Structure 1
C-alpha cells in the first residue's frame, strides 16, 4: 500500500514550503511515486497514483494548463505540484476552479527549491512507508497462515501498536476460475486483481484506517482495524458498491465479517469467510454476511473432518449405494421431503412425480434404512447429514 498525499504534504510544507492552493478534498489520495511531467503527450504513460511535478516549461498558458490538469486527474494521478517562478508565476484561476470542483489537489513549490532534493526526499518517504506496510502485511499473513510461529510476526505487529487483544474486522472476496479455460487464459487476472486491490486501498485510506489487503490464490482478503459503527458500515457499503462493477467483468463472491476478531483468531475468520464465499457461489448469492454461516460454523470448528464424513456415511451411504446400483433417486427425494417439511405435494412437483409414486418411494427409503419418516429424531439425523454433505462439498 502507498502513502496518503496528506502525509507527504505535511512533510513538504515544513521542509520546502509547498502550499496547497486547490483540491483539498483529494488529500487522502494514495501516492505510489513522484514524477516530473512537462508535456501532455507523456501523461498517457502514467499508471495512476503518481504525484506529478511540473515547471510549466512546455504547458504554461492557462487553457493548456487546465487541459493538462484535467488529463492528469482523469489518468488517476494523485495530485500536481507546480514549481512557481520562471515559467508559471501564479496558478491560473481556471486550474483552481477545475481542481476545486474535481477534488484534485494542486500545490505550489517555490522556484528556489532544488527539485532533485525534493524528489529524493519524497521518494525516500514513500519507499520507507511502503517497506513498513509490506512488513505489516507479511506479519498479518503469518498470523493467519503460520499462527503458531508468533515470534515471526508479533514483534512487527507490536511496532505497529497491534497487540494480541487488538480487534480486526475482515472481508473476504472470492474470484473462482472461469469454467471456460480458454476465456480465462485471455482475461488479464493480474491487472484485474491489481485494480481491485488499489480501489480497496483507496477506500480505507480516505478513512485513515490501518488496513492490510492481500491476494492469495483466488481470494483477496481485507483486514482492517476499524470498530463497529456508521463509518465502518459506510466503508463496507462502498466496497460492495464498487465490487458490483468488477463483478460484471469476472465472477465475484464476497463474505463480510459481522464481528471483530483478535490476532490469534484471524486464521479462523479467514477460514470461515473463505468457506462462506464458496457457499455463496453455490447458492448464487454474491454478497454474504457472516451470520449466514449458521450451523456450518460448528462444522468448521471441528478439527477432525473424518468424524463428519463418518456420520454422513452412516446416515446416507446406504441410500447412495442403492441409487448407484438401481438408478433410483432416493437421495434427492429424501432431501426434498425434508426441505419441504414433509409436504408430499411439493415433493411431487419438485421431483416431477405423482403423489402416489412419492409415497411409494418414501416407504422404500424407510425399508432400506430401517428408519421412519414419522420420527422427529430420524428426520433430524437425516437433515443434519445433508447439511454435513453440503459442507464437505465446499471445504
Structure 2
C-alpha cells in the first residue's frame, strides 16, 4: 500500500543509517526522497518527502539546522536524514529533542556513503509499492465483478502479493466526510491533497492490520478506503476498528470518520453484496450519530432496502405524515419534530418535554393538536407504531436520496 519510514528500515542499505529520534513517527508515509540544496525548503516540498541534508555541504550551524527541521515538520515531511561527519555529532541534542517532540523520524547517515545509492534504492522501493497498489486496485475490481467459478483463479492471483483471500471475508468502508472543509482549496488542489490524505489514512490502517498479521487488500475511492477484511469474531473486528478510528483522529487533522461494515460471506462472488451493504450502512452513520456501524445492526432499514419500488414507501410516508408536514409549513410549527421525539421517548411526557425544552402543558397542547390534525389518538399503540414506521421510512428515503446525489 503506502510506503512508511518503518518499511524502509527493512531495506539492506538502511542498515548504514541510524535512527536518532522521532521513533513514534515511523508510520509516516514516504512519497519520495528529496535532497535539499538550500537552507530553507518551504517553497520546494509538498509533504511526504524523506529529506536528505548534507550538513557539511550546506554549512549549517545548529540554529539553521533546527530551523530547517522545524520547516520540515510544518510541511509534513516523512522524515529527515542527516549526512553528518562522526566527529561533529555534539550539536544534535536539540534536534533529537525536536524529533521526539514532533514525532518526526531523524536519521543519521555516514557522510562518505554514496547518497545516490540510498535515494535510488528508496525510489525503486516506492515504485514497486505503486505497482503493488495498482495490482491491488485491479484485484479488488475483479473481486467485485467475480462469479463463482472465478474464485480459485482470484485466490491464486492474490498470492502473487501475499494476499490470502481464501475463506470468508467482508467489506469495510472507512470514509472521511469533510475533506473539502479540511483543505478549503480549489478543486485541483483538493484532489491532490485528498489523495495524499487518504494515502496517509491507508498507511495507518495497514500498520494496525499488520500488527494482527493481516495483509489486507484495499483501494481508495474518493473519500473512501475500501477494505477486504478476513472473517473473524465481531468483538475482534470492533476492537481493531476502534483502534483505527482512534489512530486516525490522533494523526490526521480534524477528520469526520465513519466506518461501515458489510456482512460476512464465504464466497468472493458475494463480496459485491457485502460492498453494497457497507455503502448502505455508511449512509446511516451520520444520521444515527454513530462512527462505526454494522449492516446487520440496521434492523428495520435492512427490510426497506429490499423493497425495489421506492414509490410505495413514499406513498406510505405521505399518507401518514403529509397532513402534519403541511400544517407545519403553513403555520411555522414543529409538530413533526415533536411527534418524532415523543415516539422516540416511548410517549413519556416528562422525558419528551425535557428533550424539547418546553413545559409539560405545552407538550400536551401540541399532542392534542397533532391528534386534531391527524384525527387519530396517540393513546392507541397501533397508531403510534404506524407513525414510527412512517418516520423510519421517511428517514430512509432522505438518506438514500442524499447518497444518490453525492454519488
TM-score by length of 1: 0.71
Partner of 2:254: 246
Aligned-pair CA distance for 1:43: 4.7
Aligned-pair CA distance for 1:114: 2.8
Partner of 2:26: 27
Q: Closer, same or farther in 2 for the Cα pair 1:239/1:175, shift >3 Å?
A: same
The C-alpha deviation readout for 1:107-146, integer Å capped at 9, x for no partner, is 33344433233322221111101210232133224434x3
Q: Give the Cα–Cα distance (whole angstroms) in 1 for the partners of residues 392 and 238 of structure 2.
A: 34
Q: Give the Cα–Cα distance (whole angstroms) in 2 for the partners of residues 294 and 55 of structure 1.
A: 61
Structure 1, 23-32 or 234-243: larger mean CA deviation: 234-243
Partner of 1:388: 393
Partner of 2:53: 54
Count of residues paired in the alignment: 368
Partner of 2:299: 294
Partner of 2:208: 207
Partner of 2:357: none
Contact 2:179 2:194 (8 Å CA) reproduced: no
Q: Give the Cα–Cα distance (whole angstroms) in 1 for the partners of residues 371 and 83 of structure 2.
A: 85
Q: Closer, same or farther in 2 for the Cα pair 1:200/1:79, shift >3 Å?
A: same
Structure 1, 131-140 or 98-107: larger mean CA deviation: 98-107
Task: State the secondary structure of the residue aligned to 1:77.
Answer: coil
- The aligned runs of 1:1-395 (5 Å cut-off) are 1-13=1-13, 17-56=16-55, 57-85=57-85, 89-92=87-90, 93-94=92-93, 95-144=95-144, 146-148=145-147, 150=150, 154-159=155-160, 160-165=162-167, 167=169, 170-173=172-175, 175=177, 189-191=190-192, 193-207=194-208, 209=210, 210-211=215-216, 214-216=219-221, 219-223=223-227, 225=229, 227-228=236-237, 230=239, 232-240=241-249, 245-246=253-254, 252=256, 254-257=258-261, 263-282=268-287, 285=289, 287-290=291-294, 293-300=298-305, 302=306, 304-306=307-309, 309-310=311-312, 313=315, 315-316=316-317, 353=366, 355=368, 357-362=369-374, 364=375, 374=380, 376=382, 380=385, 383-395=388-400
Q: Give the Cα–Cα distance (whole angstroms) in 1 for the partners of residues 258 and 45 of structure 2.
A: 31
When the two chains are superposed, the root-mean-square deviation of aligned CA atoms in Å is 4.6
The C-alpha deviation readout for 1:34-67, integer Å capped at 9, x for no partner, is 1211322235421222222233201443333333
Aligned-pair CA distance for 1:176: 7.6
Aligned-pair CA distance for 1:246: 3.0
Aligned-pair CA distance for 1:11: 1.5
Contact 1:279 1:394 (8 Å CA) reproduced: yes
For the pair shown, which has the larger CA radius of gyration, 1 or 2?
1
Contact 1:139 1:157 (8 Å CA) reproduced: yes
Aligned-pair CA distance for 1:76: 1.9
Contact 2:5 2:29 (8 Å CA) reproduced: yes
Aligned-pair CA distance for 1:380: 4.5
Contact 2:40 2:68 (8 Å CA) reproduced: no
Task: State the secondary structure of the residue aligned to 1:47.
Answer: coil
Q: Closer, same or farther in 2 for the Cα pair 1:379/1:26, shift >3 Å?
A: closer
Q: Closer, same or farther in 2 for the Cα pair 1:89/1:342, shift >3 Å?
A: closer
Partner of 1:369: none
Contact 2:170 2:261 (8 Å CA) reproduced: no
Structure 1, 1-10 or 161-170: larger mean CA deviation: 161-170
Contact 1:13 1:19 (8 Å CA) reproduced: no
